Amino acid sequence: MLHAVNELLWGPGTLALLLGTGVFLTLRMRLLPWRRLGYALRSALGREARQPGKDGVSPFSALMTALAASIGTGNIVGVATALVAGGPGALVWMELSALFGMATIFSESLLAVRYRRRDRQGQWVGGPMYVLEAAFERRNGGMLGTVFALFAVGASLGIGSMTQSNSIAGALASAFGLPVWTVGAVTAGLALVIILGGIRSISKVAAALVPVMGAVYLAAGLAVIFGNLANLPGSVAEIFRCAFSPRAAAGGAAGWMTAARWGVARGVFSNEAGLGSAGIAASAVDCADPVRQGYISMTGAFFDTIVICTVTGLAICCSGVLGTVDSAGLPVDGAALTILAFQTVLGPWGARFVSLSIVLFAFATIVGWEYQGEVTFTYLSRGRGRLLYRVAYALAAFLGAGLELGTVFAFADICNALMCGPNLLCLAAMSGEVCRAIRGKNTEKAVKFL
C-alpha cells in the first residue's frame, strides 16, 4: 500500500512541480543564486558567519544544523538506490535538482527569516507555516500552515528519525554484528541527550560533527575515484547518455524518465530543496539580513548534492560495481553497493569505513531533523508539548531500527511529497517579494566585487 501511494505521489506531476518551481525562481531571479555562489560560499564559511550571537545561533551553526538534517543516508544509500533504480543518468538529475534547488532554498530561508517570530521562551522560530500566514492572510494561511506542519511532523519521524536509525542499525549489524534493537536503543538514548538541550545544543553538535565527517568522507570517495581514474571518462559519458538519450535504457523515453524520477526523488531526499525544512533551521540564526542568510542557506544544496552525492555516484560508476548481483541473482543495492565501490580501492577497510560513515551521517540527520520537527509540532500545539515531542522522536528512532528498509524509505518519500505542495505554493505566491529582496541595493553593494 505504501509503495503504491509513493509511486502515485512521485509521479510526473510532482517532479514537474519541484523542478519547475526551481527553474521559475532561478530565471525570475536572473540566475543570481548561481552568479553569486562565490559570495554565498564566502559568507557561509567566513569568520563572521561563525560568530555566536546572543539572540540566536551563528549563521554557520544554522547552516550546519540544516546540513546535519540533509546529509544522511541519502548521500550514501540514497545515491546507490537511485543509480540501481534509474540507471547512471539518475546522478545528473540529482545534480539538476540541486542546481535549481539552490534558488528554492534561498527563497525558503529568506522568507522564513523575514517572517519569523518569538516563541514563549523568547527564541526565534520560523518556517513555511508562518510565511503562509503572511502570504494568504491569517485564516487561509493558517490552514495551509497547519497542513504543512502536519506533514512536516510526519516527515521528521520518517525522514529524520526512523529512516536514519534503520540505516545505522543495518550498517552496524552488517559490519560488526551488533544486535539491531540494541543499536536502536543506544541511538535513541544519545539523540535524546542532545535534543533535550534545544537548538543551541543541537547546533553545537552539528557544527562540530558535520564538517569533519564530510571532509573525511570526501577524501575517501575521491581516493576511490582516483583509484579507478582510467574508467572515469567512460563513466561520465555513460552517465550523461543515460540521463538524456531516448535510447539510453530499455523502453526508450521511459528510460530517461525513470532516471529523472529517481534522480529528483533521491535528490530531494538528500538536499530537501522544496520541502521548506531549510527555512526552519535558518530562522534560529542571529542574523538581521534575510538575504544574506538566504545565500548562506542555499549552499547546503551545493555541499550536500553537487559535492557529496556526486562523489558517491562517481565512485560507484567508475568502480564498475553498478549492476552487480548477489547470490540470489538480485541487483546489489543501497549501502552494500557503495561498500563494493569503496572496497575496489580501500579493500576490506572500505566496508568498515562506509558503515561508520552511514552511522555518523545518519546520526547527524537524526539530531538536525529533530529541531525542524519540534518547531512544526509546537506550531500545531501553540507552543506546548516540547518534551512530549522530543521523547516521541527518540522513541521513533528506537522503533525505526528494526523496520524493513523499503517501508521506511516509502514512508519518507510520501512525507517529502506531501510537504512540497503548501511550501511550493507559498514560494510561487511570494516570489515577487523574494526577487525584490535579492535585487536590493544593499545586496548589490555586498557583491559588486564579484
Q: In this predicted model, what pLDDT tens digit does every residue of 128-138 receive, in sequence order?
A: 999 999 888 77
User: Rounded to 5 degrees, what are φ and ψ at 285?
Assistant: -80, 150
Over residues 404-439, the pLDDT tens digits come to: 756 666 776 777 788 888 899 999 999 999 999 998
In a domain, 447, yes or no: no
- Residue 27: what pLDDT? 94
167-184 per-position pLDDT tens digit: 888 888 877 888 888 999
| Assigned domain for 259 exists | yes
- Domain annotation covers residue 389: yes
User: Taking 60 as the threshold, does the pLDDT of residue 103 lie above it?
Assistant: yes
Give the separation between CA 238 and CA 233, rounded to whole angstroms.
9
Q: What is the DSSP string of 48-60?
A: GGG--BTTBB-HH
- The pLDDT assigned to 252 comes to 39
What b/e sequence results for 63-76 when a residue is b if at least 16 CB atoms lie within 10 Å of its CB, and e otherwise? bbbbbbbbbbbbbb
Mean pLDDT of 89-116: 91
Q: Average pLDDT of 62-68? A: 82
Is pLDDT above 90 for 315?
A: yes
Q: What is the pLDDT of residues 37-56, one digit of tens each?
A: 999 999 888 877 777 666 66
445 lies in some domain: no
Copy the grid coordinates of residue 12: 510526473
Given a contact cutoff of 8 angstroms between Cβ atoms, the answer to whether 369 and 159 are in contact is yes
Mean pLDDT of the chain: 83
CA distances from 68 to 4, 79, 363 (A): 30, 17, 8
- What pLDDT shows up at residue 68? 79
CATH number, domain containing residue 408: 1.20.1740.10
| Distance of alpha carbon 52 from alpha carbon 49, whole angstroms | 8
**Has residue 288 been placed in a domain?**
yes
Query: Which position has the higher pLDDT, 221 or 206?
Result: 221
Given a contact cutoff of 8 angstroms between Cβ atoms, the answer to whether 266 and 6 are in contact is no
The predicted structure's pLDDT at residue 173: 83
State yes or no: pLDDT of 445 exceeds 50.
no
For residue 208, give every residue at least 6 positions away whose Cβ sits within 8 Å of its Cβ, in sequence order, or none: none
| Residue predicted with more confidence, 205 or 70 | 205
β partners of residue 331: 325
* Range with the largest mean pLDDT of 78-82, 259-263, 367-371: 367-371
Q: Is 441 inside a domain boundary?
A: no
pLDDT value, residue 246: 56
For residues 401 and 182, is the Cβ–Cβ distance under 8 A? no
pLDDT at 256 over 60: no
pLDDT at 394 over 90: yes
**What does the pLDDT look like over 284-309, one tens digit per residue?**
887 768 999 999 999 988 998 899 99
Give the number of C-alpha atoms closer than 13 A to the C-alpha of residue 59, restricted to the C-beta side: 27
What is the mean pLDDT of the segment spanning 322-342? 84
Any domain includes 194: yes
* Separation between Cα atoms, residue 266 and residue 74, nearest integer Å: 7
Domain count, the chain: 1
Task: Return the amino acid letter for 184.
Answer: G
Instruction: Answer yes or no: is 448 within a domain.
Output: no
Predicted confidence band at 139 (pLDDT cuts at 50, 70, 90)? confident
According to DSSP, residue 250 is labeled: T
Q: Which residues pair with 325 in a beta bridge?
A: 331
Alpha-carbon gap, residue 225 to 316, rounded angstroms: 9
pLDDT at position 406 is 67
Q: pLDDT band for 441, please (50, 70, 90 cuts).
A: very low
pTM surpassing 0.85? yes
Determine the Cα–Cα distance for residues 180 and 171; give it in Å rounded to an integer: 10
DSSP lists the bridge partners of residue 118 as: 124
Q: Max alpha carbon distance in the chain (Å)?
A: 63
- What is the domain extent for residue 385? 2-323+331-435
Share above pLDDT 70 across residues of the chain, in percent, rounded to a whole number: 89
Which grid cell sits at 381?
Answer: 500545539
- Map grid coordinates 565501490 to a residue: 341
Read off the pLDDT of residues 8-37 as tens digits, 9 standing for 90 and up: 777 777 777 888 899 999 999 999 999 999
Measured CA to CA, the distance from residue 23 to residue 25 in angstroms comes to 6
What mean pLDDT comes out for the span 387-400? 92
Would you state the pLDDT for residue 64? 85
pLDDT in tens, 364-390: 889 888 988 999 999 998 888 889 999
Q: pLDDT at position 55, please?
A: 63
CB 411 within 8 A of CB 158: yes
In 47-137, DSSP assigns E strands to: 117-118, 124-125
Q: Which three cell numbers, joined as nine digits, stand for 424?
A: 511550493
